Amino acid sequence: MAARSISDSTAALTIETSVPFTSHLVDPPSRDVTTTPAELMTFFRDMSLMRRMEIAADSLYKAKLIRGFCHLYDGQEAVAVGMEAAITRNDSIITAYRDHCTYLARGGDLISAFSELMGREAGCSRGKGGSMHFYKKDANFYGGHGIVGAQVPLGCGLAFAQKYKKEDTATFALYGDGAANQGQLFEALNISALWKLPAILVCENNHYGMGTAEWRAAKSPAYYKRGDYVPGLKVDGMDVLAVKQACKFAKDHAVANGPIVLEMDTYRYHGHSMSDPGSTYRTRDEISGVRQERDPIERVRKLILAHDLATPAELKDIEKEIRKRVDDAIAKAKESSMPDTSELFTNVYKKGFGVEVSCQICSN
Amino acid sequence: MFEALREALIEEMKLDPTVCVMGEDVGHYGGSYKVTKGLAEMFGDLRVLDTPIAENSFTGMGIGAAMKGLRPVVEGMNMGFLLLAYNQISNNCGMLHYTSGGQFKIPIVIRGPGGVGRQLGAEHSQRLESYFQSIPGLQMVACSTPYNAKGLMKAAIRSENPVVLFEHVLLYNMKEKIPDEEYICCLEEAEMVRPGEHVTILTYSRMRYHVMQAAKTLVNKGYDPEVIDIRSLKPFDLHTIGNSIKKTHRVLIVEECMRTGGIGASLRSAIIDNFWDYLDAPIMCLSSQDVPTPYAATLEDATVVQPAQIVAAVEQICQ
């Protein structure tokens, strides 16, 4: 067979989303999404990297190298990747504890991620945060939060700062279907709508709040409508192109008009966390069914093959290369030492109680 | 005092465009205790923000804004209402600097009136300093005079750390002449109110005035109390406090917190840990009773520490 390189063309390609968008109080965007071969290849690589990272984390957890709580994102990759494709690093993202892949999407690196998961000093939070506390300030990634729903007011605060500073950027505040029932969300949405903040509330609806199915927790599981007076869009979260389209639409809307709600219909293959087998409240058939019908990476693989952008063997090579990258990163992360005991007391306060600042003008 | 606090806010907002104020009725209404009166007209609706009654979310929003470079001053109309924002204050405000490995700083000021007022009822007479004192990463100060109110407010706004500034409902109308020139009070410093030799009385906020009233009586009886307004509730100024104890060897703490788990309890512990060898008598701590603050005037008076009790305590310690 003749050698042919994987397409890195930037010629426009228009692809239809899996399903049309459903909307609330707003005209939905078109289901025709513009992309390029290069972008599709990037989607494949990025999502495969995320998938591999999460699976590797699963093994590390079982080997007791990762402790505590570990919430894996495999199945939901399209949300992180599609969102990133629609926005810039000047826009802000904040999410809850299922944050490893969002960190990667915002430019985080594998070694910092694995080091943090294993509590090493090379971790992105110097080993002091753990799985639920990944952040990347220079990429406007604001974490990484353990208390369900508390990140949404923070996110609206980020949007407030963006408006205050006249930035023309937006904030994507992600939360789950479980968090959607938190009162503080509605409070923050009310304020955001009143003050016309560029806040996009993104419900990653994977249909289970830990072990409780959405229909048992929400009287109205139409999360995209629960903004009431705030417009909303329901998106197939397993279709990276649909996610990209929706996020672009949402950003333009938010910067011009104020808040909007996005509901990403997605799915997690793992349980809520590594402590949850994920099979007591749903059937294995359901999980494998989603994997077969809606897997985000498989969807892109099919598109790539259908448009002849790469061969199956080339895609397999990419996956092999990714596997090696992840293995190498884990090996490197394992070399990093545990934080020194003195680190216990660093970063509690900035500059030690602010003494430097206030005592400048102090008489003594 | 409310004017001193307002002056501080105005000065800092003029100096630094990232300083903004958020709270219920702080803007158009002028603030329920007039601390923010006139600010909305001066600085506009984007810098003086009237929030809906949603403490959990607007405190969270203030913290998010601080993460992104603003310096919000969040008001709890009554400090007690901030219990609704406890999660935000504890987990996000106090801890984000640490959990992010130092990436984010939260230069927020959370302020408002607390303490036992005049028959405001149990839910409006809370002393939140007891509840917040364990939160790592938080700094806490209590103002007690117009002078230190202005100085501490300015310092709190300029601090890179989250600072909770405890004001007292009964002290807002306190009047004092303060300097025209700019000044700042050190957040971590205690204030020597009355130097003395016989006993160190540690107090803060409104109880300072009960202590000073008792001091008059004590002086007439031949005692020489040293009165220190600790001001910094977290961290304690153990330097100033320690120097005093090394001189007097006797300590009385007078606080408005309830006995259980109050600032006095922590202060007592810290003194025992650090200055045990200098003590000639057990540390006494006068606190409010462990009860919800009753409405009836006589009962309310019996809830908090009164000057007569302070006099009796000093006489006992100095035996």
- β-sheet bridge partners, residue B252: B201, B284
pLDDT in tens, B145-189: 999 999 999 999 999 999 999 999 999 999 999 999 999 999 999
CB contact under 8 A, A157 and B87: no
CB contact under 8 A, B65 and A187: no
CB contact under 8 A, A142 and B186: no
How much is the pLDDT for A350?
87
**Which residues in chain B have Cβ-Cβ distances shorter than 8 Å to A128?**
98-99, 101
Phi, psi of A220 (to 5 degrees): -125, 95
How much is the pLDDT for A268?
98
Of B61, B161, B163, which is closest to A156 when you measure between CB atoms? B61
Of B70, B99, B188, which is closest to A161 when you measure between CB atoms? B70
Mean residue pLDDT across chain B: 96
CB contact under 8 A, A157 and B63: yes
Query: B100: distance to nearest CA of chain A, Å?
Result: 5
**Which residues in chain A have Cβ-Cβ distances shorter than 8 Å to B189?**
362
Q: Is there a contact between A41 and A304 (Cβ–Cβ < 8 Å)? A: yes
Between A357 and B243, name the one with better pLDDT.
B243
CB of A259 within 8 Å of a chain B CB? The answer is no
CB contact under 8 A, B101 and A188: no
3-state helix/strand/coil string of chain B: CHHHHHHHHHHHHHHCCCEEEEECCCCCCCCCCCCCCCHHHHHCCCCEEECCCCHHHHHHHHHHHHHCCCEEEEECCCHHHHHHHHHHHHHHHHCHHHHCCCCCCCCCEEEEEECCCCCCCHHHCCCCHHHHCCCCCCEEEECCCHHHHHHHHHHHHHCCCCEEEEEEHHHCCCCCCCCCCCCCCCCCCCEEEECCCCEEEEECCCHHHHHHHHHHHHHHCCCCEEEEECCEEECCCHHHHHHHHHHHCCEEEEEEEECCCCHHHHHHHHHHHHHHHHCCCCCEEEEECCCCCCCCHHHHHHHCCCHHHHHHHHHHHCC
Q: Which A positions 187-246 lie with beta carbon below 8 A of chain B? A: 187-188, 190-191, 194-195
Of A92, A137, A353, which is closest to B103 when you measure between CB atoms? A137
Of B46, B52, B63, which is closest to A190 when you measure between CB atoms? B52
CB contact under 8 A, A354 and B99: no
CB contact under 8 A, B58 and A153: yes
CB of A344 within 8 Å of a chain B CB? The answer is no
CB contact under 8 A, A146 and B91: yes
Amino acid in position B209: Y
**Residue position matching structure tokens 């508390």:** A150
CB contact under 8 A, B92 and A145: yes
Query: A350: distance to nearest CA of chain B, Å?
Result: 6
Query: B318: distance to nearest CA of chain A, Å?
Result: 32
Of A126, A128, A188, which is closest to B60 when you measure between CB atoms? A188
CB contact under 8 A, A191 and B58: yes
**Which residues in chain A have Cβ-Cβ distances shorter than 8 Å to B52?**
187, 190-191, 194
pLDDT in tens, B181-224: 999 999 999 999 999 999 999 999 999 999 999 999 999 999 99
CB contact under 8 A, B160 and A347: no
**Which residues in chain B have Cβ-Cβ distances shorter than 8 Å to A362?**
184-186, 189
CB of A169 within 8 Å of a chain B CB? The answer is no
**Which residues in chain B have Cβ-Cβ distances shorter than 8 Å to A183?**
56
Q: Which residue of B has its CA nearest to A142?
A: B67
- Is the predicted pLDDT of residue B129 greater than 70, yes or no? yes
**Which residues in chain B have Cβ-Cβ distances shorter than 8 Å to A121?**
none
Of A125, A152, A351, which is closest to B100 when you measure between CB atoms? A125
How much is the pLDDT for A352?
63
- Is the predicted pLDDT of residue B83 greater than 80, yes or no? yes
Per-residue pLDDT of chain A (364 residues; tens, 9 = 90+): 444 678 889 999 999 999 999 999 999 999 999 999 999 999 999 999 999 999 999 999 999 999 999 999 999 999 999 999 999 999 999 999 999 999 999 999 999 999 999 999 999 999 999 999 999 999 999 999 999 999 999 999 999 999 999 999 999 999 999 999 999 999 999 999 999 999 999 999 999 999 999 999 999 999 999 999 999 999 999 999 999 999 999 999 999 999 999 999 999 999 999 999 999 999 999 999 999 999 999 999 999 999 999 999 999 999 999 999 999 999 999 999 999 998 888 899 987 654 333 333 333 3
**Which residues in chain B have Cβ-Cβ distances shorter than 8 Å to A194?**
52
Of A125, A350, A360, which is closest to B99 when you measure between CB atoms? A125
% of chain B residues with pLDDT over 90: 100
A13-343 placed in CATH 3.40.50.970? yes
Residues of B assigned a catalytic role: 55, 124
3-state helix/strand/coil string of chain A: CCCCCCCCCCCCEEEECCCCCEEECCCCCCCEEEECHHHHHHHHHHHHHHHHHHHHHHHHHHCCCCCCCCCCCCCCHHHHHHHHHHCCCCCEEECCCCCHHHHHHCCCCHHHHHHHHCCCCCCCCCCCCCCCCCCEHHHCECCCCCCCCCHHHHHHHHHHHHHHCCCCCCEEEEEECCHHHCHHHHHHHHHHHHCCCCEEEEEEECCEECCEEHHHHCCCCCHHHCCCCCCEEEEECCCHHHHHHHHHHHHHHHHHHCCEEEEEECCCCCCCCCCCCCCCCCCHHHHHHHHHHHCHHHHHHHHHHHCCCCCHHHHHHHHHHHHHHHHHHHHHHHHCCCCCHHHHHCCCCCCCCCHHHHCCCCCC
Query: B154: distance to nearest CA of chain A, Å?
Result: 8
How much is the pLDDT for A2?
43
Q: Is there a contact between A184 and B52 (Cβ–Cβ < 8 Å)? A: no
**Which residues in chain B have Cβ-Cβ distances shorter than 8 Å to A161?**
64-65, 67-70
Domains recognised in chain B with CATH numbers:
1-168 (3.40.50.970), 191-318 (3.40.50.920)
Measured from the Cβ of residue A147, the count of other Cβ atoms closer than 10 Å reads 17
How much is the pLDDT for A177?
97
How much is the pLDDT for A5?
75
CB contact under 8 A, B97 and A347: yes
**Which residues in chain A have Cβ-Cβ distances shorter than 8 Å to B61?**
153-154, 156-157, 160, 188, 191
CB of A143 within 8 Å of a chain B CB? The answer is yes
Q: Is there a contact between A73 and A49 (Cβ–Cβ < 8 Å)? A: no
- Mutate which: A192, A345, A347, A356, vs B, most B CBs within 10 A: A347
How much is the pLDDT for A353?
59
CB contact under 8 A, A125 and B136: no
